[in-house]
Amino acid sequence: MNITDATPQRRKLGIELFVDGTESLVYEGVVFHRHEGHLVVASYSDFIHSENSSLREAIEKIERSKAVLAAFSAVSASLPHKYEFCYDYGMGTVKLAELQGSEVVWCAK
């Protein structure tokens, strides 16, 4: 559920559904969802073609997603986090990079 421009009531509902595990949460272009006991914090490439994405963009987007996550620290504190940088091709997504320790590692081939 995208709560970026939501009313306070809808934002509260979105957060409640996320905490219950019913819905993923989207805020300011960052997607939060649960997977295998982790909170996955996913940001997405701005490019139309995945080959135009870069490690630099991945680093910038993951850093930004950390800042966005800070707004939800009360609901995210109980799970370990995974940060991913993805490409959305319209019918699904492909993980291009992920944060491993303090380093962003390119995963795409």
Inside any domain, residue 90: yes
Count the domains in the chain.
1
pTM over 0.85: yes
Inside any domain, residue 2: no
Q: What's the pLDDT score for residue 48?
A: 85
Inside any domain, residue 28: yes
Inside any domain, residue 50: yes
The 10 Å Cβ neighbour count of residue 104 is 20
Q: What is the CATH number of the domain that holds 14?
A: 3.30.70
Inside any domain, residue 3: no
The 10s digit of each residue's pLDDT in 53-93 is 999 999 999 999 999 988 777 666 778 899 999 999 988 99
Inside any domain, residue 25: yes
**What one-character DSSP code corresponds to residue 31?**
E
User: Of 11, 58, 75, 66, which is closest to residue 41 (Cα–Cα)?
Assistant: 66
The domain of 48 spans 8-106
Q: Are 69 and 81 in contact (CB under 8 A)?
A: yes
Q: How confident is the model at residue 95 (pLDDT cuts 50, 70, 90)?
A: very high
Inside any domain, residue 82: yes
Q: Are 63 and 57 in contact (CB under 8 A)?
A: no
